[in-house]
Structure 1
Amino acid sequence: MCSTEQKPLFRDLTAEDTEPEVTEIESLCINCYKNGSTRILLTRIPHYKNVVIMSFSCESCGYENNEIQPGGAIAELGVRWKLRVEAPADLNRQVVKSDFTSVRIPEVDFEISAQSQKGEVTTVEGVISRAVAGLTQDQVARRAEHPEAAEKIDAFVENLQGLRALDTPWTLLLEDISGNCFIENPEAPKKDPRAERTDFKRSKEQDHILGIYTHEEPCGDSPVDVSDSLPGTLTPADPSEGSYDRQVAEEILQFRTNCPDCNAPADTNMKITNIPHFKEVVIMATVCDACGHRTNEVKSGGGIEDKGVRFVVRVANRDDFSRDILKSETCSMSIPELDLEVGGAALGGRFTTAEGLVRASLEQIGCAPELSGDAPAPAKERMAEFMGKLQEVLDNKRSITIILDDPAGNSYVQNLNDDPEQYDDGLQVSRYERSFEQNEELGLNDMKTEGYEAS
């Protein structure tokens, strides 16, 4: 029995790739209503995401149309960005906008609603330039037919031009319910001094805009049955086992999924394990045979804890590197000595060691766009210098302090002291009451668990 070689669905375009896999289908021309041809190419933009490039042409009337659509999955949470534009360098920041990104500049009462423009990769100045171009394109005819409206638009365009001239600092606000927008941090890997990112949970109406429905909700005119569309059935790696109660914790389960990088079919292995003095966790690992992508993820087996937890871990020698650490996807990490601060989504959930966290940070920074392409030389030098400092930590030439802050309380750091009631000298643990903003981000403010009466 021969096996079919798996290939990535989304592949990089290179100079050597003279014949990329293009799918051609017959489709209706919206101009002359005869049949034309649509060519579809699945590829990916480096350091961004998978995209679908479509090109339509009709031989009958000559009509042509080109379009680009995202090929990745919708993010689990929506995202909001707030950027304070104060210096010329802020105008040159790269901005990634999806179709669902809304743009607001409160200082001039300017707004671009979501789904009114196609997604694009641009700059902060490019957002302003595109708005100016759109407002001025029909001004000649407007001045002749509607002089009062044209005069108001001229005044508004002048205000927009003032934003590019930085007459006064101003604020750029982005909101994307799909979670697929981004503002570049020119100070990376340091914390951005003028940009703030917050994630938010989508409402039911926003899910419906994205085409996301639950099993019980109607989609269009009929209820949705997703039972046949699931990627696979959860099965044990050893099919001889037939019981799925507490025995699940003793075996590795396997289910079919798609690679998050190239979208080719792949297998995900999952196992429930117990961390002593902590709780049960779910460990998942995916390996893609098509592109070689590997991903490891850890999720808490229980709910959100009553309090948040903050760990301060000193890493000064080789023994400190071997300390076990469970970092959940809600846990942020900072290293004050290196001015490094990352959110929970940066490294994801993982069960590793102190050395593993530092090495994972080094690997992720090594893939940053500032180190390749036409990135400015100062950015490359700054990132290379920072990577050198991280390498010195791994070579045990530099001591650091790792601070882990998890408002959900689902992270864990191994205590090297034989007495579990007393922490060793290199570890400090504190628990705290979450703020309203942290509860909001975890979706706890909308939960009501008391005051219900049985019907």
Structure 2
Amino acid sequence: MTSKPQDPFFKSIGDRVEETDKLPETTESGQAEVDEDAPLHTVESLCMRCGEQGLTRLLLTSIPYFKEVIVASFRCEHCGEQNNEIQAAGKIAEQGSLYTAKILNRGDLNRQVVKSSYATIIIPEFELTIPPKRGQLTTVEGTIRDVIADLSADQPIRRIQDEPTYEKIEALLKKLHDSLGDDEDGETVTQSPDGQQIPDDAPIPKSFTVKVDDPAGNSWIEFIGSMADPKWSMKTYDRSRDQDVLLGLIGPDDAEEGKTEKAGEQVDEDADENGEVYVFPGTCSSCHAPCDTKMKKVVIPYFKDILIMSTNCDKCGYRDNEIKSGSAISEKGKKITLKVEDSDDLARDILKSENCGLEIPEIQLVLQPGTLGGRFTTLEGLLTQVYEELSEKAFARGDAAEAKEDRTTFEEFLGRLKQVMTAEIPFTVILDDPLANSYLQNIYAPDPDPNMTTELYDRTWDQNEELGLNDMKVEGYEEDAEKEKAEA
């Protein structure tokens, strides 16, 4: 396998550092000698603070495992004004991206963060959302420090003019300082009370989660070691029309036309028997506000009919999806076994009913029936949901009384799960559904799939009892009803 040739314009950061050390000295006027091959390109720019001419330095570089970027740094020698910005040098990605990193120890604070001008940074534990602004190349700690500096700037004025807001921001600033391990004065602590240097694997007092949501797909959070990092994950998603308008990919008029066409397609779809969407009024189970549950019948080729039910609360944002079988109860149970050999198998459609259990022997993963409820997604999507559920429970509280050995073991398990999610290692997926309402796509249909086997089996009495089938009578119940009526 041949390696990718080095781009002469966008070299790696390491190569750029070596070239920068060889830059010529600046002249008395502060200008460097012109060199077209220099790694830094310097241009004069107007300072918006004092109106004098400052210098903007442009660095074209490549971030490993990410993409090419342009780093711009401005400095005015007259008033001292300075700022820096980062811009993506490549095209806008076909999909948006959502990066998530669990910050548990001091080493995690050093993860690099690339934030484009369209990206939003979210820290759920602090209810903090950093809206899109200029692009940045920083670290997780640098991002927190910027937030602290921005919020602290106007605190003296808020204390006089709006004391309730001042107190709320002070409480948030305390949480941010605690998450970085700062002392009472907000100063960085690098040594323990006995004078020893604090190691990178030392846990931080308050763990948190950093999410970078970028519809342009040009943002990034660094992983540690490899993409199997159990505290790091990435998801891509299709942009909405409003996001395409924000990125300038389509005009506002095109977006309105697209919405009109989509509405017309929905009307045509509802005219079809299988495309009809039923709406049931109900109550949100989270905030108890009125909301609707939508139900639609879907026909899966070479399988059976299913019912997809979706609930979405407009008030609190609660969402829930559920899958039900639209056919009669099967006489036998079904066991499906798939040997996954490459990433193509991860794109197979999978229907996991709420009574289906899932097992991956290679990583000792066993999901009991009822876990995650009913799901209709892809194999990759199902494994991603499993990872998110487990990681949320494992890393929800950094100060929980949990043994370090148990946490290390669980992180190793999540690392193996990440390898399975990307098909880095071959593995086996076993679906065991006593009602035979689960499905795994056969990409060779209608021919047999060489990597998948399907086994039908008779349910045990205990399984029928658990499913409530032993007391279910569908024939001869008229005679029993008449007999009970006569006895009464």
TM-score normalised by L of structure 2? 0.41
State which structure, 1 or 2, has the greater radius of gyration over its C-alpha atoms.
2
Structure that is richer in helix per residue:
2
